[in-house]
Amino acid sequence: MTPRKRTGRCAALLLTAALATGALTGCRPLADAASASCEDTGSRVDALKSYDVLDSRPPGTIVPQGFEDLQAGCWEDSGEAWLYADRTYVFPGDKAEVIQYYEAAAEREGWKPSKATRQALKENRSASLCFTRGKTDDATTLDVYFLTKEILDAEETKTGPDFDAGFGYRVAVNSTADGSAASCSD
């Protein structure tokens, strides 16, 4: 399988991080504020891969062909580096079942829903979910999001027939490479 290009959701995370970095650094030039790189991040990537929620999934979930392996690593773009570990699944049921499942799984592991996620859950909307660890680990986020054609096209990902059995979604644990605070883009 060809490695996916880390765009789409990752680009949105980067834009959010860039804007937040400017605000938090008193508007220092972005090049000065965003100087993290992927060098020596292997142990932190391994830590992201260890989160149980990545292997947790609702009964009936399919691991699609070509997505059997946990994807993990570090990517750099525009001077900012991000660590990720994610899994891609296909679920043949209703999106609400996936949302309910991961809401409970995240809570069991100590993740707290973002403001936007709390609102979406309250309104019973099918939405992407984003969780943080709070003060325990303010550099890591958990995202559960549904894959769209645009995301898959941006990643240059080819999907097989497993995706015809339901809808694709991804469970991703992300972190800043330098360990600085990260948050969900509410």
Write the DSSP string, 22-79: HHHTTS--HHHH----STT-HHHHHHHHT-GGGT---TT-B--TT--SPEEEEEEETT
- pLDDT digit string, tens, across residues 61-113: 999 999 999 999 998 876 789 999 999 999 999 999 999 999 999 999 999 99
Cα–Cα distances (Å) from 178 to 14, 40, 64, 80, 131, in that order, read 14, 10, 33, 9, 19
CA dist 134 and 131 (Å) reads: 9
Tens of pLDDT, residue by residue over 129-146, are: 999 987 777 889 999 999
pTM summary value: 0.78
C-alpha–C-alpha distance, residues 96 and 146, integer Å: 11
Contact 62, 92 (CB under 8 A): yes
